[in-house]
Amino acid sequence: CFLSLQKREISNFDYLMYLNTLAGRSYNDYMQYPVFPWVLADYHSETLNLTNPHTFRDLSKPMGAQTLERKHKFIQRFNEVEKTEDLSAQCHYCTHYSSAIIVASYLVRMEPFTQTFCSLQGGSFDVADRMFHSVKSTWESASRDNMSDVRELIPEFFYLPEFLTNANHFELGCMQDGTVLGDVQLPPWADGDPHKFILLHRQVSE
């Protein structure tokens, strides 16, 4: 399969799906849902500059090390745990890059994921400010700002524009700044078009 990838006989998307299958991941299990990486780091520009290395996520490093400052904070936390404590307490990341709640939060605007998300949240939507509402904000949280967030993406980010729209008009709440949650906020280079976002995102991944 890797040789086929090198020869460009299969797409990067197909290769990643193949790896997920080998790892035992499946659409049928939210806890073992297929994982795809963030491939971009630019969710603020009007246009994507594909000649600029800073446009892309550094795939040689995990989400917890996308910035030097963040990497050092995780190392510091690891070293500060007392050696006498349970070894399970000594870790760099206390959260996972994928989980049922992460998957459901990404897909919350589509059934049956809406009901799954609410079930995992005790029967209702989460606080609006914690809901998936912006691609840019989610990237900044997972790559820089939130020490409890190292999430990666799911395959739908590369082929399914519908999950980015609130076509069912769910009342997802209102954020503290007054923003009413509806469709997912897209980066400027997508021009507010989920189809364009998916198209460019898929092209970049290849």
Q: 87 falls in which pLDDT band (50, 70, 90)?
A: low
Domain ranges of the chain: 1-43+68-204
Tokens of 62: 């995990």
For residues 206 and 11, the answer to whether their CB atoms sit within 8 Å is: yes
Tokens of 5: 């990838």
pLDDT given at position 6: 58
- Kindly report the pTM of this predicted structure: 0.90
Architecture per CATH, domain 1-43+68-204, reads as Orthogonal Bundle (1.10)
Q: How far is CA 117 from CA 5, 111, 141, in A?
A: 35, 10, 20
For residues 152 and 35, the answer to whether their CB atoms sit within 8 Å is: yes
Spatial CB neighbours of 91, under 8 Å, sequence gap ≥ 6:
78
